[in-house]
């Protein structure tokens, strides 16, 4: 999830763990701890694109990391804080560390919760930014912080925020199931033979869902709103995997394909090859949109070194996407 949401979750968990004893300091340290797992993004400054993608939401988002570093951070804090209970601090850091990746498992990217096992959990029931999850959570956290640390209302407001936000996640799983049924029913009606289907919510909402559908030689992408009255229109994207030629055998290409879970297309423009990661869709809900969220230029150096350069987003893409989403949410 986005940084603000993880800060709020960390703050609420910190409050639940230690708020009664140290008040708003528990909120502060929980908020800080809630951002620590995402420091893995700094890897992009020190390594290549493929390695950075592999590292992201890996070790720092694991149960192993939570157990290993919770006592380390607890020890550091007790060196300068007046509250010296190492066990209590360790619990605060452990729960803030572990709830961070658990929340991230709900998104499309997912996490390696069981690192070092190469298992990435991604339930794809919420977008990485979801105001309906974050805003109520923030409101109840603020209400809790305004109370004295011993006040029952403080725990009531904080617990209510945790319960409502968690209940919303359960609701999104139900909505995902309904969206899945909607897509599979439409695929059957249109007599489309497919191998695999993945569904996920579109940005900032859970009313409009998208589906990636794998067929023999292409991928289909479709959108379905719970307000739709007409059939779903699927856009077709040829896989074009044959364009890679011998590059498909390159170790770095194999790693990139593994990162995309096989959901990728290749296209060629002006003799330049591009790798399109379809898991996150396009920056438009329009039919046959090709401005994918993650699109990489494939570069091969004279010495055979392979690299991937992420294509920059065009100015105005975000605004256009929001307008597309608003129009499409209202139904087709």
d(CA 57, CA 29): 21
Token pair, residue 79, equals 């060196």
- Give me the number of domains the chain comprises: 2
Assess whether 18 and 135 both reside in one domain.
Answer: yes
Assess whether 144 and 211 both reside in one domain.
Answer: no
180 in a structural domain: no
pLDDT tens track, the chain, 332 positions: 999 999 999 999 999 999 999 999 999 999 999 999 999 999 989 999 999 999 999 999 999 999 999 999 999 999 999 999 999 999 999 999 999 999 999 999 999 999 999 999 999 999 999 999 999 999 999 999 999 999 999 999 999 999 999 999 999 999 999 999 999 999 999 999 999 999 999 999 999 999 999 999 999 999 999 999 999 999 999 999 999 999 999 999 999 999 999 999 999 999 999 999 999 999 999 999 989 999 999 999 999 899 999 999 888 888 899 999 999 999 99
Assess whether 125 and 248 both reside in one domain.
Answer: no
226 in a structural domain: yes
Assess whether 270 and 159 both reside in one domain.
Answer: no
Asked whether the CA dihedral 326, 329, 330, 331 is positive or negative, the reply is positive
Assess whether 216 and 134 both reside in one domain.
Answer: no
304 in a structural domain: yes
Assess whether 61 and 120 both reside in one domain.
Answer: yes
Assess whether 36 and 154 both reside in one domain.
Answer: yes
178 in a structural domain: no
CB contact set of 150 (below 8 Å; sequence gap of 6+): 20
Task: State the pLDDT at residue 98.
Answer: 98
Token pair, residue 154, equals 């403080």
- Final residue belonging to a domain, choices 145, 172, 199: 172
Task: State the pLDDT at residue 161.
Answer: 98
Peptide bond into 75 cis (omega under 30): no
For residue 304, CA distances in Å to 10, 11, 252, 254, 257 come to 45, 48, 11, 15, 18
182 in a structural domain: no
Give the residue numbers spanning the domain of 225: 190-332
Asked whether the CA dihedral 197, 209, 168, 24 is positive or negative, the reply is positive
317 in a structural domain: yes
Assess whether 213 and 293 both reside in one domain.
Answer: yes
Assess whether 195 and 158 both reside in one domain.
Answer: no
Assess whether 10 and 90 both reside in one domain.
Answer: yes
Task: State the pLDDT at residue 44.
Answer: 87
Assess whether 266 and 314 both reside in one domain.
Answer: yes
Assess whether 238 and 297 both reside in one domain.
Answer: yes
CA within 13 Å, CB half, 229: 2
- Final residue belonging to a domain, choices 109, 139, 172: 172
276 in a structural domain: yes
Q: Which candidate, 103, 86, 81, places its Cα nearest to that of 23?
A: 81
- Final residue belonging to a domain, choices 172, 205, 223: 172
183 in a structural domain: no
């Amino acid at each position: 999830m986005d940084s603000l949401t993880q800060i709020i979750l960390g703050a609420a968990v910190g409050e639940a763990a230690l708020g009664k004893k140290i008040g708003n300091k528990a909120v502060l340290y929980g908020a800080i701890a809630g951002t620590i797992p995402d420091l893995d993004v700094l890897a992009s400054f020190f390594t290549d694109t493929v390695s950075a993608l592999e590292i992201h939401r890996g070790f720092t988002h694991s149960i192993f990391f939570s157990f290993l570093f919770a006592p380390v951070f607890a020890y550091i804090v007790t060196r300068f804080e007046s509250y010296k209970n190492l066990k209590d601090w360790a619990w605060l850091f452990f729960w803030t560390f572990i709830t961070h990746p658990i929340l991230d498992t709900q998104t499309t990217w997912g996490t390696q919760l069981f690192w070092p096992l190469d298992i990435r959990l991604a339930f794809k029931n919420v977008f990485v930014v979801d105001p309906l999850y974050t805003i109520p959570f923030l409101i109840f956290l603020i209400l809790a912080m305004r109370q004295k640390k011993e006040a029952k209302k403080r725990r009531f407001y904080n617990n209510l925020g945790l319960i409502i936000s968690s209940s919303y996640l359960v609701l999104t799983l139900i909505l995902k199931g309904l969206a899945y049924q909607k897509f599979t029913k439409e695929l059957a009606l249109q007599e489309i033979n497919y191998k695999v289907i993945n569904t996920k919510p579109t940005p900032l909402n859970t009313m409009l869902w998208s589906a990636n559908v794998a067929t023999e030689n292409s991928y289909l992408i479709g959108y379905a709103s719970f307000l739709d009255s007409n059939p779903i229109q699927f856009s077709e994207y040829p896989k074009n995997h044959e364009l890679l030629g011998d590059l498909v055998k390159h170790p770095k290409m194999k790693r990139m394909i593994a990162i995309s879970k096989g959901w990728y297309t290749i296209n060629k423009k002006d003799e330049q090859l591009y790798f399109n990661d379809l898991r996150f869709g396009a920056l438009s809900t329009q039919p046959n949109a090709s401005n994918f969220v993650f699109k990489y230029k494939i570069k091969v150096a004279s010495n055979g070194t392979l690299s991937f350069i992420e294509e920059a987003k065009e100015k105005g893409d975000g605004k256009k996407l929001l307008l597309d989403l608003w129009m499409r949410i209202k139904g087709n």
